[in-house]
A and B are shown apart, each in its own frame.
Chain A
Amino acid sequence: MLKGVCGLLYSDLIFIYGFLPITILITFLDRSTEYKNLILVLTSIVFFTFGRPMIVLLLFTTVIFDYLFGLLAGYGKNKWLRNLGFVCSIVMNSSLYIVFCWNSLFKNLGIEHLTFANKLIPLGIAFYTLRGISYVGDVYKKRIKPEKNIFCLFTYMVSYHFMIVGPIVRYGDVSEQIRKRTITGQNLNDGLNRFIIGFAKVMILGLSFEKIKAAGLNLNELTPFGAWVGMLAFIGSIYFVFTGYTDMALGLGTLNGFKYKENFSPIYLSGYVSGIVKGFNKLLTEFFEDFLVAPYKTNKVKYISGILLSGILIGLWYGFSQNFLIFGLYFAFLVLIEKLFLKRILDMLPKIVGYVYTLLAVFMGAAIAYFARLEDFLRWFKALFGIGTDYWWSVNMRNKTLSYLFLAIIGVLIMIPKVKEVIILNLSDFSKKSEKNYAVMRISQTVGICLLLVMATASSVTA
């Protein structure tokens, strides 16, 4: 779970019980948006330098360059200048990304002066660089006007709300809100609730799946049961950690009066792999699709190359290793063949075939991402069918599965959109019946949120 990351995280207790309430209180001292932006920038600086040297702040100077490149890409006298602005932004931000996120590359190549200690690698640098490119790119494509006020751009670039697990907010979506926003009681209510639900997702559900995964995929005692359930638990853990952190980010945004786009759509198996790829971390997928796929829809060769290149880049964005490269290519390939012919075939077959195909495809994709070494992957793959294993399951695996059985079931139910819809519909119907019901529902909600907060805090301390 965000291994190797040092500094402040949303799920840290010092953030939830120290940083966050202080920030909220300070923000409410004045109603003007300028003041709120100033507080946001200052608190973001504290957030990013927490446990790290202040020198990482030097990185924020790239905002000045993005600002200038944006002006060039938007107001350049001729196309050549506009192209130059966009290309410069891509080069600068990609270089930053490679230097910081793929730092192991320099270590392996023996380039010592580019090898940084972990504490010098800023938190959320991957999102930061993508935001820089997306801003200049949107200006270049004339989707938005270049920002003339550098402070507004600075607020957008350094805001800690979406620095850890996204969402990748486009400047066009928030530029108005940066200039003028109000924080209502509804904002506070929704923001707090969402933040705590996200915290509970990460610390209760994510952690439970993580423990089942660790027991099941322990290479020292691989068993068929462990191999199957462990990989499913890995998918669950990834899902809840990502959606949890995103919920926390969106909640923080709402608390500050922002309204960001959703980053995760409900998972419908009827959309096959393409649907899942589009729905999972969808703002990231949209970003690459916008720049690499959408402009080339008329040219088949460019279109196919665009999809494959997007897959590779998304894979490498998740992690700089060969397994992530294969992971990206694997999903890009599946999306491609679905677009070309597979979807039509699957639509003709019984629905269950499509569901099984999608589940298996995601299952294998997760395994590709999980195992960094091919031999480990092969051992796991054989273990799925009982090859090379003496036992069906291990004691540890049994204990972990039983210990978190109810949570795992709840987690799976949450992941199924239809179940979620039915529950929400029933609750909604119940609350509509009378004022009393509505009151019961709202009070239960408050009690539930408090309970989740305490449970997640306790789980966080134990973890």
Chain B
Amino acid sequence: MSKKRKKKLNNSQAEVYNRKTDLKNNQKKPDDYDYKNAVYPDNSSLKVPPKGNETASLEGDAVLRKIGKDAVVGEYNFINVAVVFILIMIMGISFALLRNNGEYIENNNKISTETVLNGKFTKKLSKNYMKRLPGKQLLFDTHRVFSYAYGLAGFNDEKGFVSVDTGKIIGIKTYDEPIMVTITTTAPPTTTQYTGKTTNTTRKLKGSLFVGPGQLTTTAKTKKTTTKKTTAKTTSASVPTTTTFTGTTWSFRGTTTWRTTTVKTSAHTTEPPTIYTPPQATTANTTVGFEDEEQ
């Protein structure tokens, strides 16, 4: 064998050897798998890197690599779709069937050509769906848990309102629609129907850095009130607490608000009361109702 021929053979053997070791290395280290072009979250830009003058086998390797990459991406896509879709299906089926076996249709929502054509059937179906959603309490609680991560105050303002006196949250334990609470404070019945000063005393809450409407401050705000004398004897009189309301709104579930105010009234009586009046008549921490937050 000529020297030239021997050299050529050695070179080709070396090439084969190199390729084999490359292959082995590739097998040994799966992390060397070409993720250079893999992007998150999809594989839209996966490309085979151009490698200049390659042999046919190397090109084949590149194609195989690409197929491998696609397979990996496809696998994760499949997992993602399967998990999310199964979650949707589980929730969907539980929402539809868990508690209300056929209740949507049987109870107050009769299916007929007329109700379908005038849209009443689907309208009621939609209403009932939300009304009788199973696990509603669970979802509320879930939201409550998540809402602690939404900000610093957690679920506080969602669930109740902050007492102006104590600064503590007055929790509302039910998730039902709030009932409008109107407490009218009554003053001792007098012949002179409520005269005198009405003071909206406010003090600053402990640890709060702000002063807002309805907040209590040490510097009391005093408003002039008119004196109205009546000659007729009254058996009872109501002192309206609409005096110097500078209330704040306290949100409940985002749509309903309360107004909380502390009204100190000093009633001047000229005659002893003829009718018993409850003690809260003079100093009342009154919740005077709620209003729609949306303007």
Q: Closest chain B residue to A12 by CB distance? A: B126
Q: Are A18 and B119 in contact (CB under 8 A)?
A: no
Q: Assuming A394-B213, A458-B146, A462-B253, is B31 touching A434 (CB within 8 A)?
A: yes
Q: Are B140 and A405 in contact (CB under 8 A)?
A: no
Q: Residue-by-residue, is A204-239 near B (CB-CB < 8 Å gives 1, otherwise 0)? A: 000110110011011111010000000000000000
Residues of chain B contacted by A49 (CB below 8 angstroms): 119, 122
| CA–CA, A72 and B127, complex, Å | 45
> Interface code B253-270, partner A: CB below 8 Å = 1, 0 otherwise?
110010000000000000
In the complex, the answer to whether B72 meets A393 with C-beta atoms within 8 Å is no
Q: Is B154 an interface residue (CB 8 A)?
A: yes
Which chain A residues (50-79) contact chain B, with CB distance < 8 Å? Answer: 50-54
Min C-beta distance of A154 to chain B, whole Å: 21
Q: Which residues of A contact B146 (CB under 8 A)?
A: 455, 458-459
Q: Quick check: is B294 within 8 A (CB to CB) of the other chain?
A: yes
Q: Does B275 contact A (CB under 8 A)?
A: no
The reply on A282 being an interface residue by CB < 8 A is no
Q: How far is the CA of A402 from the CA of B152 in the complex (A)?
A: 5
Task: Say yes or no for A396: interface residue by CB 8 A criterion.
Answer: yes
Kindly state whether residue A177 has any CB partner on chain B within 8 Å. no
A95 within 8 A of B: no
Partner of B140, one of A394, A439, A462: A462
Residues from chain A with a CB closer than 8 A to the CB of B63 are none
Contacting residue for A435 out of B72, B139, B153, CB 8 A: B72
Closest residue of chain B to A3 (Cβ to Cβ) is B294
CB of B152 within 8 A of CB of A193, answer no
Q: Quick check: B213 and A391 within 8 Å, CB to CB?
A: yes
Q: Which of B88, B91, B142 has the most CB of A within 10 A?
A: B88
Contact B152 A403 (CB under 8 A): yes
B295 vs chain A, min Cβ distance (A)? 6
Q: B33 and A435: CB pair below 8 A?
A: yes
Q: A residues within 8 A CB of B147?
A: 403
- Cα–Cα, bound, A8→B119 (Å): 12
- Given contacts A186-B42, A455-B146, is CB(A403)–CB(B88) below 8 Å? no
Most buried by B among A13, A439, A441: A13
**Contacts A54-B117, A193-B80, A403-B147 given; does A17 touch B88 at CB 8 Å:** yes
Q: Are A432 and B251 in contact (CB under 8 A)?
A: no
CA distance A436 to B162 in the complex (A): 49
Q: Does A294 contact B (CB under 8 A)?
A: no
Q: Counting CB contacts under 8 A, is A454 at the interface? A: yes
Q: Which of A6, A21, A207, A449 contacts B89 (CB 8 A)?
A: A21
A-B contact count (CB 8 A): 248
A residues in contact with B85, CB < 8 Å: 21, 24, 192
**A119 to chain B: closest residue by CB:** B119
Cα of A436 to Cα of B122 in the assembled complex, Å: 48
Contact B251 A396 (CB under 8 A): yes
- Within 65-94 of B, Cβ neighbours of A (below 8 Å) are at 72, 74, 76-81, 83-85, 87-89, 91-92
Within 8 A of A (CB), among B126-152: 126, 129-130, 133, 136, 139-140, 142-143, 146-147, 149-152
A residues 244-284 near B (Cβ < 8 Å) are none
Answer yes or no: B158 CB below 8 A from chain A CBs. Answer: yes
Tell me if A457 and B139 are in contact (CB < 8 A).
Answer: yes
> Are B212 and A13 closer than 8 Å at their CB atoms?
no
| Contact A395 B130, CB 8 Å, known A449-B84, A463-B254 | no
With an 8 Å Cβ cutoff, the count of chain A residues facing the other chain is 85
Give A185 to B71 CA distance when docked, in angstroms.
11
A333 at the A/B interface (Cβ < 8 Å)? no
Chain B residues near A433 (CB-CB < 8 A):
35
By DSSP majority rule, is chain A's interface helix, strand, loop, or mixed?
A: helix
Per the bound structure, the CA–CA distance linking A49 and B116 in Å amounts to 9
Distance of A298 Cα from B215 Cα, bound (Å): 62
Asked whether A332 is an interface residue with its Cβ less than 8 Å from the other chain, the reply is no
Whether the pair A445, B41 counts as a contact (CB closer than 8 A) is yes
| Contact flags A423-458 to B (C-beta < 8 A → 1, else 0) | 010011011111110110111011001100111011
Q: A14 within 8 Å of B by Cβ?
A: yes
A435 to B250 Cα, complex, angstroms: 52
Cβ of B62 under 8 Å from chain A: no
Residues of the A chain whose Cβ atoms lie less than 8 Å from the Cβ of B125: 14
Contact of B117 among A53, A211, A218 (CB under 8 A): A53
Whether a CB of chain A sits under 8 angstroms from the CB of B210 is: yes
Q: Is A90 on the interface with B (CB-CB < 8 A)?
A: no
| CB 8 Å contact bits of B198-234 with A (1 = contact, 0 = none) | 0000000000101111110000000000000000000
| Closest Cβ neighbor of B87 among chain A residues | A450
- The answer to whether A185 and B143 touch across the interface, beta carbons within 8 angstroms, is no
Q: A196 near B: Cβ within 8 Å?
A: yes
Tell me which residues from 5 to 25 in chain A have a Cβ below 8 Å from any Cβ of chain B. 6, 8, 12-14, 16-18, 20-21, 24
Tell me which residues across on chain A come within 8 A of B44, comparing CB atoms.
186
Query: Within 8 Å CB of B254, what residues of A?
Result: 207, 210-211, 214, 462-463
B88 & A20 in contact (Cβ 8 Å cutoff):
yes
CA distance A196 to B91 in the complex (A): 14
B120 to chain A, nearest CB (A): 9
Chain B positions 148-199 with a Cβ under 8 Å from a chain A Cβ? 149-158, 162
B38 touches A189 (CB 8 A): no
Within 8 A of B (CB), among A273-328: none
- Chain B residues whose CB sits within 8 angstroms of the CB of A458 once the complex forms: 139-140, 142-143, 146
Subset of 23 A-B contacts with CB under 8 Å: A14-B129, A21-B92, A49-B122, A51-B126, A54-B119, A186-B42, A192-B80, A193-B80, A208-B150, A221-B248, A391-B213, A393-B210, A395-B210, A396-B248, A396-B251, A432-B35, A432-B36, A446-B79, A449-B84, A453-B84, A453-B88, A454-B87, A461-B140
Residue positions of A touching B, CB distance < 8 A: 6, 8, 12-14, 16-18, 20-21, 24, 49-54, 119, 185-186, 188-190, 192-193, 196, 207-208, 210-211, 214-215, 217-221, 223, 390-408, 424, 427-428, 430-436, 438-439, 441-443, 445-446, 449-450, 453-455, 457-459, 461-463
Q: Contacts A16-B88, A17-B96 given; 12 further ones with Cβ under 8 A?
A: A14-B129, A185-B74, A211-B254, A393-B210, A396-B249, A399-B251, A401-B151, A404-B150, A406-B151, A407-B150, A438-B35, A461-B139
A-B interface, 10 closest residue pairs, ranked by CB to CB distance from nearest:
A17-B92, A458-B143, A399-B157, A405-B151, A51-B123, A442-B76, A189-B77, A402-B153, A394-B212, A434-B31
